[in-house]
Amino acid sequence: MEKPMGESRFEKGSRALAAIDGRGGREVVDSLAGIAPDLGRWVVEFAFGDVYTRPGLDARQRELVTLGSLVTQGDTVPELRVHIAAALHVGLTREQVVEAIMQCVPYVGFPRTINAVGVAREVFDREDREHGDD
């Protein structure tokens, strides 16, 4: 993603956030507005303005890495919801999302992997309800 002249980190990050996460990322940032607006700004500026817009990986590859990281950390259900939806939004298939999660099982074990697959099912079901079966 090339930076237009004069574009701030926040503007660059907002553009990347919308392209990658769709409405889910914006909802996360908006949820912080009343309690920790600077944290929301950091998400936009740093994570999306600086990291997600770096060269070398495309959006699908970045989401695969993000999914693996979240599964490995465990206890990241809200973040997994956002990033599974983002993975679909940038063009990964449901099968690719599930395979990326399953790839983690030798390294993080069955409980975290099974929990993450459960979150994927929840996101897929929500997508089906909102957009109809594709």
pLDDT value, residue 132: 78
Give the tens place of pLDDT for each residue, 25-49: 888 899 999 999 999 999 999 999 9
pTM metric for this prediction: 0.88
CATH number (1.10.3720.10, 2.40.30.20, 3.40.50.720, 1.20.1290.10) of 57-134 reads: 1.20.1290.10
* Residues contacting residue 57 through CB under 8 Å, at least 6 positions apart: 65
Question: Residue type at 79?
Answer: E
Q: Percent of the chain having pLDDT more than 90? A: 85
In the chain, where are the structural domains located? 8-54, 57-134
- Are the C-beta atoms of residues 77 and 109 closer than 8 Å to each other? no
